[in-house]
Structures are given as C-alpha cells and as structure tokens.
Amino acid sequence: MKAILSADRNWGIGLNNRLLVSIPSDMKFFRQTTTGKVVVMGRKTLESFPNGLPLKNRTNIVLTGNPNYSVKDAVIVHTEDELLRELEKYNSDDIYVIGGESVYRMMLPYCDTVLVTKIDRAFQADTFFPNLDEMDEWEMTEESEEQTCFDLEFTFTKYERRKA
C-alpha cells in the first residue's frame, strides 16, 4: 500500500480543507499514478473535490464516522477494521492513501511506499503529514530534478519503508 501527497517544507498538506497550492504537473502526476487504482480517503477529503464527487476511473473508498453517509460511486466504511477488511479485496500495490491527515496517520503503518511532492516553501497549514525525514523506518529512495511552477520549486520524491 502507498500514500501519495504534496507537502510543504514543514510537511503541511492543507489549510481549511483545501490543498496548500495547486501545481498542474503535481495534479497530472497524481492523476496518472492513481487512475485505475484504489484511493482511500476521509470524508472531508472527498468533500474537498470538485462538487464533492469521487475521483473518476478509480475505486474510491471513503472513511467516515457518520453511519448515514453515502455517496454514489464510492465505497463507504466507518472504522479502521472495516477499512482494512475492504482493502483485502484489492491488490496492495494498487492502493493509494490520499488523505487527509487522520487517514494518513491511521494508514501509514500499513504503507511501504510514500510518494511526496515536496514544495520548497512554508505555507500556513492546519493539517500535516508525519515528517518521514525524522522517522528511522523511512528513507528517501528517489528524488526528481528540481522543478518550477510559477515561483514555486518542488521535487517528486519516493520514500520507502526500510527493511527490518
């Protein structure tokens, strides 16, 4: 299982239920990486999408505590156990955790790879991803050339869980 995200220098990932910044090449990378795959998210992440609709051409699994919540074209689960049972139906390599903060934190122990678009700027943020650079069990195994969008510099990185 993998996680995919973009984060600023402080591992900030969002503010007021929105991404910190929208970088077209990052959005394209996200689309190309997750199309045809399984995406796992919390309810607020789903509701942050255009019209609050599930992502096209993917299996959308949404975790919410609300027992009455339903969305067309999404699988709704209510607990970590229910989510893990649902994920057993899919190839682990095809599962991408896409947010938000609480879902990332819950699912990180089950992930072996994290794809991070690292933005070389600090933004105001109210949601964060755990700082993998400070965690011994994770190491950055790939980093792209630095790229620029408007005045933002960023790199595509890959972190992998160290083998015990």
Residue 60: which domain range? 2-161
Cβ neighbours around 59 below 10 Å, total: 19
Q: What is the pLDDT along the chain (164 residues), one digit of tens a residue?
A: 999 999 999 999 999 999 999 999 999 999 999 999 999 999 999 999 989 999 999 999 999 999 999 999 999 999 999 999 999 999 999 999 999 999 999 999 999 999 999 999 999 999 999 999 999 999 999 999 999 998 999 999 999 999 87
Looking at beta carbons, which pairs linking 138-143 to residues 24 or more positions away fall under 8 Å? 138/114, 138/162
Instruction: Please state the pTM of the whole predicted model.
Output: 0.96
Task: Residue 89: give its domain's CATH number.
Answer: 3.40.430.10
For residue 145, which phi and psi values (nearest 5 degrees)? -60, 150
In the chain, how many domains are there?
1
